[in-house]
Amino acid sequence: MRIKSAEVIVTSPGRNFVTLRITTEDGLVGLGDATLNGRELAVRSYLEDHVLPLIADGDASRIEDTWQYLYRGAYWRRGPVTMAAISAVDTALWDIKAKAAGIPLYQLLGGASRTGALAYGHASGRDVPELLDSVRAHLEAGFRAIRIQTGIPGLDSVYGVATSSAGGGERYDYEPARRATAGSDRPLPTVETWDTRAYLRHLPTVFEAVRAEFGPELPLLHDGHHRMTPIEAARLGKALEPYDLFWLEDATPGEDQAALRLIRQHTTTPLAIGEVFNSVYDYTTLLHERLIDYVRSAVTHAGGVTGMKKLLDLAGVYGIKSGMHGPTDISPVGMAAALHLDLAVHNFGIQEYMKHSERTLEVFRTSYWFKDGLLHPSDTPGLGVDLDTEAAARFPYQPAYLPVNRLRDGTVHDW
């Protein structure tokens, strides 16, 4: 099974995606997601300039060997650009292998361990009444686990709060990486203002209102998006204990693994971290010392199906579960890869799920489905996603950035 051709497709159907498409001599096509939100073209270059020449004419069946060759062979290891590129090659090769076998990928990974993957959706509101409406809409749409994010009195714009409506009352577009404004030839990140004290005061009152309205059963999650110091995070975890969260995510900036020790000593609120990680080595302290409950990496950023499987197997040794990253900047290809792993691994916890826009789904033809709170990757051979290259060409790349945060005095803060 030799690789005949490989191409990188950058398309922007609503937001930017980077996809690797590998074709074998016998005509099998494999897809891999290499999207790195806001830094897309660096991964395209890494793939086109440094990876594709190395795998041209290679044996598509040698997945582990290709992974090790690209990881160890580069000498310069890890990092989001390198690992997104390796992820794309790896995922495309798994797609091809499963298609060659005529089976869905999860069968190659050991077969189904469950009937579907519990998915959480994103409820948000600029204030509490709007948030309660959004939770209600998510319950009506079938979600059985819900992430809660709200506006904070005194702040104009806050991470995780939808600013536009997708129609049908579903507000989902909470963090489009912003495109250049009309007339400007130089896109710059928008700047938001942040105030941790206001956030810490407000958030427990929000969870109190949600529990009062919807009762104790519904699993509720929250994303702190890297903004707290360890002692602030510890305080928030304690304050949220009465509301029985499924998890508190990214309470502190992820690169400081030791920070989680301090949080852990103070609270029994479960902790999740890792969406910006790209290697199992980013987790070693967290896993060995059982400082977290869920690993948040995505197949797209953690070295593909191979990298993610290695990470989840190590996490499983410590009883730590998966909670794979699944916002809309993970393409439908990355999402499908996650779903096959979700179905197969024993230590599955939950899957994040933000539905892609209709425009995105014009380019990426998916077969995975959502019903009664669970996602299923489908039984289509391979990943079960096709890329319509003509549709992709209609949506050329558009420079865009995530926002940045500043404190009220102008100091740069984590976003």
Site track for ligand GCO across 28-57, x = CB under 6 A: ---------x--------------------
**Residue 334 sits in the site that holds ligand GCO (CB under 6 A):** no
Which residues neighbour 376 within 8 Å (Cβ) at sequence distance 6 or greater? 115, 116, 117, 339, 343, 368, 369, 370
Residue 132: other Cβ atoms inside 10 A: 18
Phi and psi at 251, nearest 5°, equal -65, -40
**Residue 352 sits in the site that holds ligand GCO (CB under 6 A):** yes
Say which entry of Mg ion, ligand GCO, none residue 282 contacts (CB below 5 to 8 A, set by partner kind).
none
Closest distance of CB 378 from ligand GCO, Å: 23
Q: What is the distance between the alpha carbons of residues 245 and 88, in angstroms, rounded to a whole number?
A: 34
Residues 272-301 that bind Mg ion (CB under 5 A): 275
217: its two tokens = 């059963």
Residues 365-384 that bind Mg ion (CB under 5 A): none
Say which entry of ligand GCO, Mg ion, none residue 175 contacts (CB below 5 to 8 A, set by partner kind).
ligand GCO
**Residue 342 sits in the site that holds Mg ion (CB under 5 A):** no
Residue 169: other Cβ atoms inside 10 A: 12
Phi-psi region of 131 (alpha: psi -120 to 50; beta: other; left: phi over 0): alpha
Say which entry of Mg ion, ligand GCO, none residue 42 contacts (CB below 5 to 8 A, set by partner kind).
none
- Beta-bridged to residue 374, according to DSSP, are 118, 371
Q: What is the distance between the alpha carbons of residues 182 and 196, in angstroms, rounded to a whole number?
A: 33
**Residue 175 sits in the site that holds ligand GCO (CB under 6 A):** yes
**Residue 9 sits in the site that holds ligand GCO (CB under 6 A):** no
Residues 392-411 that bind ligand GCO (CB under 6 A): 402
- Beta-bridged to residue 132, according to DSSP, are none
Angle ∠(385,398,278) on CA atoms, nearest 5:
60
Angle ∠(268,224,216) on CA atoms, nearest 5:
50
Helical residues (DSSP H) of 141-296, grouped into ranges: 196-214, 230-240, 259-266, 284-288
**Residue 223 sits in the site that holds Mg ion (CB under 5 A):** yes
Closer to ligand GCO by Cβ: residue 207 or 294: 294
Q: Which helix (H) or strand (E) holds 46?
A: none
Would you call 159 a catalytic residue per the annotation? yes
Say which entry of Mg ion, ligand GCO, none residue 402 contacts (CB below 5 to 8 A, set by partner kind).
ligand GCO
* Residue number of the CB atom closest to Mg ion: 223
Helical residues (DSSP H) of 152-258, grouped into ranges: 196-214, 230-240
Site track for ligand GCO across 262-291, x = CB under 6 A: -------------x----------------
125: its two tokens = 């509101």
Among 106, 159, 243, 353, the active-site one is 159
CB 348 within 8 A of CB 114: yes
Among 13, 327, 373, 384, binds ligand GCO (CB under 6 A): 327
Closest distance of CB 328 from ligand GCO, Å: 8
**Residue 195 sits in the site that holds Mg ion (CB under 5 A):** no
Residue 81: other Cβ atoms inside 10 A: 18
Closest distance of CB 274 from ligand GCO, Å: 10
Closest distance of CB 264 from ligand GCO, Å: 20
42: its two tokens = 């660096």
Say which entry of ligand GCO, Mg ion, none residue 297 contacts (CB below 5 to 8 A, set by partner kind).
none
Closest distance of CB 106 from ligand GCO, Å: 23
Would you call 222 a catalytic residue per the annotation? no
Closest distance of CB 102 from ligand GCO, Å: 34
Name the 3-class secondary structure at 188: coil
Residues that bind ligand GCO (CB under 6 A): 37, 175, 223, 225, 275, 327, 329, 352, 402
Residues that bind Mg ion (CB under 5 A): 223, 275
Q: Name the residues annotated as catalytic.
A: 159, 225
